[in-house]
Amino acid sequence: MKQKRVFVADWLDRLQANGRYTFTLEEALHEGGAGERKALWRAQRAKHVVQPRRGFYVIVPAEYRGAGSPPAPWFIDPLMRAQNEPYYVGLLSAAAIYGASAQAVQEFQVVVTRPLRPITVGRVRLRFVMRGDLAKAATVERDTPTGRMRVSTPEQTVVDIVTYPHASGGWDNVGSVVHALVPQLESKKLRRTAEAQADTRAVQRLGYLLDLAGAEEPARALATWFRPRAHGFVPFEPRGPVSGAPRNERWNLILNHPFEIE
């Protein structure tokens, strides 16, 4: 029994020494044999490891034992790869990476191709937002303390938070985040991102928010793409009343949401 405990402790130390903080059950059993199941269970009870998904483990360094888990960027990429799930970090979590989240992000938001239940690991909560055409999204790889992870570009981020406003803190917060991200937007990249967008309504709403932010070049890039495709007017807030609301001719919008952008 002593030999098994030493093996697990030594193996976890070796993984950390090599910059690895995740492993699968299959890896542990391959390294130490079937008896390692009980050793892993003891390590989990001692909060030395945590299991976000069955058969996938995250090593918890001493400085994160109180939180119950290291931060999500430490393990999100190997977790999604272990599940064979295409993904990217998006919405407010991506905005926070770019230094542009207007409110405290209470969850780590990940865009995926199918419905997935949220995961709570210690104080970390992973929320998954489904996007069927994820392969069309503009993403980049960003360094993390333990490797890399895929993140939406600033241009994709603003399109996404307008597409999913209820996952992004509501319209006022969306407007504030768009305003904060304006300095990082490249007009040509924004237009290419809009071209990959199946629904023009997100582009219309984003264009209006860019106008409010005084972002002339990015707004013009969207307008030149949108105007030839413009059809009828749509409400800015799909669930809100439209009677008596003013209209914006440039973006074919019924302005039924008053903005208070910080």
pLDDT at 79: 97
From 259, 224, 222, select the one nearest 240 (Cα to Cα). 259
pLDDT band at 39 (very low <50, low <70, confident <90, very high): confident
Ranges of beta strands (E only) in the chain are: 22-24, 49-53, 56-59, 87-89, 108-112, 119-121, 124-130, 139-144, 147-152, 234-235, 247-248, 253-254
pLDDT, tens digit, 9 for 90 and up, residues 152-183: 999 999 999 999 999 999 999 999 999 999 99
Q: Which residues contact 70 (CB under 8 A, 6 or more apart)?
A: 21, 58, 59, 60, 61, 64
- For residue 111, what are its two tokens? 């865009």
d(CA 30, CA 22): 15
Q: What is the pLDDT of residue 37?
A: 79
Q: Which residue segments constitute the domains of the chain, with CATH numbers given?
A: 2-64 (1.10.10), 72-254 (no CATH)
Q: CA angle at residue 164 from 159 to 168, to 5 degrees?
A: 95
For residue 102, what pLDDT is reported?
A: 53
Q: pTM to 2 decimals?
A: 0.90
pLDDT tens figures, 123-156:
999 999 999 999 999 999 999 999 999 999 999 9
Placement of tokens 């949108």 in the chain: 226
What's the confidence (pLDDT) of residue 30?
A: 79
The proportion of the chain whose per-residue pLDDT surpasses 70, expressed as a percent, equals 93
Distance CA 241, CA 237 (A): 8
Report the C-alpha gap between 244 and 199 in whole angstroms. 26
Q: What is the pLDDT of residues 91-111, one digit of tens each?
A: 999 999 999 865 556 799 999
Q: Which residue has the higher pLDDT, 39 or 256?
A: 256
Q: Residue 47 is encoded by which pair of tokens?
A: 């909060």
For the beta carbon of residue 242, count every other beta carbon within 10 angstroms. Answer: 15
Question: pLDDT at residue 2 above 70?
Answer: no
Per residue in 4-27, pLDDT (tens digit) is 445 677 888 899 999 999 999 988
